[in-house]
Amino acid sequence: MEPEQPNLSFEQVFRVLKRRVPWFVLCVVLVTGAAFAYSKHKPKKYTATAAVGFNNNPLSQQITGLSGASSSNLIAQQDSNLEFIRLGDTAARVASLLGQGLNVEKVRESVNLSVRGETDIVEVSATSTSPALAAMIANTYAGQYVREQQSANRQLFKTALTLVNRQLAKLSPAQRFSSGALDLVQRAHTLNLLTELGYNNASVAGEALVPTSPSSPKTKRNTLLGIGLGLLLGFGLAFLIERLDRRIREPEDLQEIYGLPMIGLVPKSAAVSRSGKGAALPPLEAEAFSLMRAHLGFFNVDHHDLRTLLVASPTSGEGKTTIARHLAEAAARLGSRGLLIEADLRNPTFTQQLDIEPGPGLANVLIGAVSMEEAIQSVVLEVAPGEGLTGRTLDVLAAGAVPPNPGELLESRAMDGVLTRAKSLYDFVVIDTPPLASVSDALPLLTKVDGVVIVGWIGRSRRDAAERLKQILTSSGAALLGVIANGSKAGGPSHYPAAHDKSSLAIVSTNGGSASEDFAPTTNA
């Protein structure tokens, strides 16, 4: 088995997404809807923001006799401002002042402190389910801190004034007129003035307004995030399902697995599976098989004379019997002497499906009970309206009696003789076989015919079975011609190959209809 290619082309990705559109859309809708519903049902919260400004001028420290801050590091100063507001019992005082069921923990949980850019302003943001309460918490917190800071400064100035007065009292009468004494007197007057004025290095720089719109949940943002997450999950789910789904979904998949060109597409059509003696197909379906038969003629260039064609599939139910029948009929309708051989000796169906007389068949010929000519029956082909052809027949060699050793019979020299005799009498011989990946009966025939085509049912054939058959065919030395995609959807013109495209030989546009089995629903071939 060839290793799977890890890199997908854009065309392959597009095909995967196209096949999995329902799952992809479902993911996007569900995740987006969940994000939207979550946002709508989550309680609305409102955020109000007040501002506290800091005057970091070291005047008060110098006046009080303390050493001024020597560092000009803005980030360090901002961190200090945040710590000043965060520390203390401001939250407890706010809870006590406002009431309304607030406590210290609730206030601290609702308040968020942050620095506004590269400034000395600290923003006090409060969040609550009530817009009015959010504004009250923010304003009360900021105002309470400023008042506490003012009270602390007043106490600081009083303490400094007491120290200055003590220094003055210790001076002798002679020292009281010195420059140092005058500085102490000036400092005492300044401290007394600052105490009376209520100097403060923090102030309310902006009051919080009652918010008019909620800060959370952000419905629009969450919905957009839901769309993005839904797209990612949709992609992932689409490729996961594609990985787990082992069915062959597109005609191109058949070509990739077997490494063979496309011979043609068989449409989903009830007419294709209709049984009966030489039943005529509608014009569109008949043209599909006529084109496939005509394109098989191009292989005569390489194989000299394509007279015997084996139609195979990896498992049962993929429509190879139906396709073998219609290919043989198409050749006969074009005037060729055609023979259809049923080599599926385990599960013969030609007698019922073609309405031919039960009697001796291929198995009887191989054991020497009858001659090939005696076992062959002719089927008169019906004429489609406007076709104008009459008297066309297709010879059929049914399986006959079910033998106990089908594999040995098909591998015998007698089978070689049947094929040789058929090639001498007929222009085109089509051989229907049992599923090659299920039983080995027909494997000896692979090298006894001029060409082999593989049938796969789109949407039904399994990739693992096809890969097993690919291994068998690779080592068999068979003359592999191409693949035929059965059950193809309508709208094939987009797949029709250009004249220079060697990967496909006949891609046929067809109409839709019910999926067809081999001749009828009871057929297992």
Each residue's pLDDT tens digit, 150-185: 777 677 777 777 787 777 777 777 777 777 777 777
Q: Confidence class of residue 241 from pLDDT cuts 50, 70 and 90?
A: confident
How many structural domains does the chain have? 3
Q: Which residue has the higher pLDDT, 395 or 175?
A: 395
In our burial notation (b when 16+ CB lie closer than 10 A, e otherwise), range 251-273 reads bbbbbbbbebbbbbbbbbbebbb
Please indicate, yes or no, whether residues 72 and 182 belong to a single structural domain of this protein. yes
Element spanning 126, H or E: strand 121-128
Give residue 161's pLDDT.
77
516 occurs within a structural domain: no
Predicted confidence (pLDDT) at residue 432 exceeds the cutoff of 50: yes
Q: How many beta carbons lie within 10 A of that of residue 281, not counting itself?
A: 21
Quick: pLDDT tens for 73-110. Answer: 656 666 666 676 777 778 888 888 888 888 888 888 88
Q: 209 and 147 in one domain?
A: yes
What counts of helices (H) and strands (E) characterise the chain?
20, 12
Q: Verify that 63 and 14 share a domain, yes or no.
A: no
Residues 26, 69, single domain; the answer is no
Do residues 321 and 421 share a domain?
Answer: yes
Q: Is residue 215 a contact partner of residue 32, using CB atoms and an 8 Å limit? A: no
CA–CA dist 485, 489 (Å, integer):
10
Q: Is 0.95 topped by the overall pTM?
A: no
Which range of residues forms the domain containing residue 30? 10-41+220-243
> How far apart (Å, rounded) are the C-alpha atoms in residues 390 and 384?
10
Q: Please tell me whether residues 165 and 113 are part of one structural domain.
A: yes
pLDDT, tens digit, for every residue of 366-390? 999 999 999 999 888 876 655 555 6
Question: Could you tell me if 78 and 145 lie in one domain?
Answer: yes
What pLDDT score was predicted for residue 74? 57
Q: Which two tokens stand for residue 333?
A: 């309708």
Both 383 and 330 in a single domain?
yes
Provide the β-strand partners of residue 429: 308, 339
Q: Kindly state whether residues 339 and 357 are assigned to the same domain.
A: yes
- Do residues 30 and 155 share a domain? no
In this predicted structure, the answer to whether residue 489 has a pLDDT above a threshold of 60 is: yes
Mean pLDDT throughout 321-329? 88
The pLDDT-based confidence of 364 (bands split at 50, 70, 90) is: very high
CATH of the domain at 100: 3.30.1890.10
* Residue 194: predicted pLDDT: 67
Q: Which SS3 state, helix, strand or coil, does residue 309 take?
A: strand
- Say how far apart CA 500 and CA 114 lie, in whole Å: 69
Q: What is the mean pLDDT of residues 411-432?
A: 93
The secondary structure element, H or E, covering residue 179 is helix 179-197
Segment (H or E) for 414? helix 413-425
Task: Please report the sign of the dihedral spanned by the C-alpha atoms of residue 126, residue 130, residue 133, residue 139.
Answer: positive
d(CA 339, CA 410): 17
Indicate if 212 and 224 belong to the same structural domain: no
